[in-house]
């Protein structure tokens, strides 16, 4: 059986079961290109090892590739296309877990203020107000960047303070209510947005360039990197990745948790609500967002001390 053909069948099979299977699909297609136009039985253990190792150090992506290939070869084995796995039996230790970058209030304020530089040159296709509002929306809702960029004018119901997030990760749509402060920010931005072209009327992008086109993920990332450098926001703890747009989502989740601790709320009862708000399929997915920062540990310690004291008094 041709390797590429079987990989395509496997991808279609997984997607027919309701899985997006995007990352795995990219990995498998890259694997097929690396192996060439050959039969699956011609794939050697050394060739697989070379593909997994690549040219750099072992990272978590090694394990992502290994997991994708393991699933593929189980599929091939169950259908009689192979009799042995060419995957290595010795698995390298996983690198330390990735730690998201948590923005302080001061850092985020500097980041928002730095959007003014977008108005200094016409080479930037995005107006300062557009990018400033995008950052505030991410900070105030924890939306994924793709969700925010996919918003249309029709998806933003300001009288109801409600956002409609359509067909995102896990093929889910959801409503995201927003508070009065963020609503006021969006109301102000809409006045600017109305002055830009609306290429598809109400289905036009909410966050648009000066020409009325929707912002792309790539251009948004590049502008964000420029703002971080200009605001002197960089990782200094030896972490592999510099602060990312997606880390704003982590910051939102952590800030929400800290606020609940300070309010004396029942955090365990409220976590499922946070998971739903963020568009996660379960609480476990949300818990991965809650990095143990000194501030969170302090609030948890205060809560435990209060609990222990009250328990002793009773």
CA-CA distance, 239 to 259, in Å (whole number)?
A: 27
CA 217 to chain centroid, in Å, comes to 12
- SS3 for 205? strand
The burial of 244, by beta-carbon neighbours within 10 Å (0-12 exposed, 13-18 middle, 19 or more buried), is given as middle
**Mapped to the 3 state alphabet, what secondary structure does 155-188 carry?**
HEECCCCEEEECCCHHHCCEEEECCHHHHHHHHH
> Which residues, 6 or more positions from 234, have their beta carbon under 8 angstroms from its beta carbon?
228, 242, 243
Neighbours of 301 (CB within 10 A): 11
Residues carrying an active site annotation? 144, 169, 246, 249, 280, 289
Instruction: Give the sheet arrangement for strand 174-177, strand by strand.
Output: 156-157, 162-165, 174-177
Residue 269, both tokens: 């009862």
């Amino acid at each position: 059986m041709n390797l590429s053909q079987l990989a395509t069948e496997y991808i279609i099979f997984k997607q027919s079961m309701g899985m997006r299977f995007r990352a795995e699909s990219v990995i498998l297609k890259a694997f097929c290109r690396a192996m060439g136009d050959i039969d699956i039985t011609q794939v050697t253990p050394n060739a697989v090892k070379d593909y997994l190792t690549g040219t750099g150090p072992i990272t978590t992506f090694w394990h992502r590739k290994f997991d994708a290939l393991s699933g593929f070869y189980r599929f091939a084995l169950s259908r009689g296309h192979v009799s042995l796995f060419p995957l290595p039996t010795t698995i390298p230790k996983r690198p330390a877990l990735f730690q998201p970058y948590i923005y302080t209030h001061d850092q985020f304020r500097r980041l928002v203020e730095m959007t003014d530089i977008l108005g200094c040159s016409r080479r930037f296709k995005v107006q300062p107000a557009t990018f400033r509002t995008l950052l505030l929306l991410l900070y105030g809702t924890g939306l994924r960047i793709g969700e925010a960029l996919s918003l249309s004018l029709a998806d933003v119901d300001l009288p109801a303070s409600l956002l409609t997030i359509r067909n995102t990760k896990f093929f889910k749509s959801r409503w995201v209510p927003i508070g009065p402060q963020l609503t006021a920010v969006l109301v102000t931005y809409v006045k600017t947005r109305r002055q830009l072209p609306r290429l598809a009327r109400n289905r036009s992008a909410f966050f648009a360039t000066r020409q009325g086109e929707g912002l792309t993920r790539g251009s948004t990332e590049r502008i964000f990197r420029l703002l971080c450098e200009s605001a002197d926001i960089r990782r200094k703890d030896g972490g592999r990745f510099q602060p990312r747009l997606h880390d704003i989502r982590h910051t939102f989740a952590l800030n929400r948790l800290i606020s609940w601790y300070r309010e004396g709320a029942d955090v365990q009862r409220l976590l499922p609500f946070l998971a739903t708000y963020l568009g996660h399929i379960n609480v476990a997915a949300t818990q991965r967002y809650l990095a143990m920062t000194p501030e969170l540990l302090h609030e948890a310690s205060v809560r435990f001390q209060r609990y222990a004291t009250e328990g002793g008094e009773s």
